[in-house]
Structure 1
Amino acid sequence: MLTQFTINTCKSFGCRNLGLPISASADYSWPDYRLGFPALHCRACGSYPPLFDEQQFNEWLSAHLSAYAFENGHFCPECYCNKTICYGHNPRGTQRVQCRVCRKVWTPKRQLPGEVIPPVQIETVPLIVPFQGGRGDQKLYVLLSFDAIRGNILHLSTNFTQHPIGETLRYLWRGNIEPELHHSDIVKRVDMREMHFLRRSQFDEIQYGSAVLKRNAKGAILRPVIAAHGHFRVLNILFPEIKTHVISHECFLRGAVITVWAELFRQQQGELWFIEEDISDSDTNTPWYFQGKTHHGWWQSQWSLWIQGKNRKMVCPLTGGDSSNAEMLSIAASRHFIDWLYKQTNFTHSAQLSAGGVTQILLSLAHDYNDRLITAPSGD
């Protein structure tokens, strides 16, 4: 039976309808075209989240989660429960696993790791990576999530999928790429990114570059917002009680996180933060100093500016988090990995590989990176 995952819902923190599906609230009306695209109107808070084809999304997400479970064994490929037990071995001596809830038995393709330690904070950033497609200079949208304290990669995914998708889930390049922001003033950079959100056809419809597969290639390229909902759904199954999320400044990442962990946020037990950094000296251990607050964007979100020598960071609490935590928040784990990634020969040649090939290289390098963290001498 197809599990139903909610994507059409109110995504406003503090609203009584946060995370509730269309059938669960009389406050909803749809479709509403007031913002120029089909939206779900939540009359309780006045928000207009874009509408998705929920059937197409559920069909793809079910296939995506099942494939991940068969590959890694962390949760059940049938009911997605993460309560599993070792269940003997197959004739080849490979460990089998059984779900404690539905009793499904399967053999993961990868050797099961030891106990997975839940993170205290999850840090998530995007990365644009080239691949060889129908023409040169095609691009994948990659999402990287880390244990923000330990630094290891918790989950890596791209917007390439091997599973069939409906047309509403497909990324469509319209030839109008959003410019990269390199303004020397970090406050103005935050403001400019908010302005770019408003210029989109809808808030989550990013245009990050062309992503055309080779002719007759298997698979498809997802809209990044769909890939983000799939990415965080995997993390939610693995770590349902995680309470602190630090994400790059991208509005649809916020929407995906708050939807997937909606129950915790509705109970005001979770914190979600935007981070923008300008790091010139990553080795300094001097304290961060608070410089003041500014408001930006459609929602007039409150950002705080912090300075540490030559370094600058902007921090925005999206769910009423404790402002005293802002000093310690960063995206340092992602910076360390990306610095390492660009030194790996396999990665630097990714522009010559297919989208599926680049995805596999990234997954392999993420595995190598995590192994490196485990085996590195103390203080390395």
Structure 2
Amino acid sequence: PKDASAADKDKAKQKAQEILAQIKAHPDQFAQLAQQDSQDPGSASKGGDLGYFSPGMIAGGKAFDDAVFKMKKDEISDLIQSDFGYHIVKVTDVKPSVTKPFDEVKDSIAKDLKAQLATKAFSDDSEGFTSTVYEQSKSLQPAADKYKLQIQTATVTPQPSSALPPDSPLNNPKFLAAVFANDSAKDRNNTQAIDVGNNTLVAAHVTDYKPAAVPALAAVKDAVRQKVVAQQAADLARKEGEAKLADLQKSKSTQGFSSALKVSRSDAQGVPPAALSAIYKVDAQKLPAYVGVDLGADGYAIYRVNAVVQPAPTDAQRLASAQQQIASVNAQAEAESYLDAVRTRSKVKMYGSLDNPQSGE
């Protein structure tokens, strides 16, 4: 382990050096020794065979790549240390990188170039948009005219609304905080340009503000009545469902259930997420099992788990590739978060684009 004690690391290194000495003495026994001594769950049973791979595909990291991709065919490495321990590598074959014909990659290149140009255009326009809504703070019209945008009107509350999609810009906490700040709600200045993700900036201008107030009973009594009736109905459904669940757990009956479905995390077959989560908590050693789930407005559901099917073993190379991709996504997200934090703390204001010195200030 990466956090092992110095003594344990020394012991592991000594063991690895002993294995390396055996391999150097008997290169033809590499696969046999790998099956005997390797602790890599993906390749040990295959005699250490990792298959063909490119830089970044194996989870050993930069140290692993730096050592392996300098090696030649049939060469055996010295000990390579990474966060996963000590590695001994024998290169059995090398495939040189191949340049693909232009016709095969031109669509991909065009897509990448368009994405790069769009990113640059968005960055340039973002600076100008941010400056315009700040400098001409009493109206959004100048920014709308300059960037050919349509001003839209919406009513918002300080907290995200369930009536809107969760990813709606109008439900963004940073945006709502800016709208209800005194500078916006009372002084009627434009909000700053808010980055709500997905390369989207939003600015708002408050035209009417109503502080929170307790409504008259006559105005809300029908809605209150409906809510109370719905709540009581849900409570009764839950109690009846729990009683039915208890009976089924005793009788192990199959009466009243639909035909069996095979579900998975990636293919829920219409089973609600809350129910799927409860189903996956069932003890596979105690089947059949019955699961009851309160689905709120959708009632109380009971599921009968007949069998648990174990997934096929994950291919080691595919898993390593997925780990690399996830690490890349996490690194990008962390970088974006850091950049957002720096922008938030910074008192620097940018005007125009560096590509046009006359527009800078």
When the two structures are superposed, what TM-score results if normalisation uses the length of structure 2? 0.18
Give the number of the structure with larger relative contact order, counting CA–CA contacts within 8 Å between residues 6 or more apart: 1
Higher helix share goes to which structure? 2
Higher strand share goes to which structure? 1
Larger C-alpha radius of gyration, 1 or 2? 2
When the two structures are superposed, what TM-score results if normalisation uses the length of structure 1? 0.18
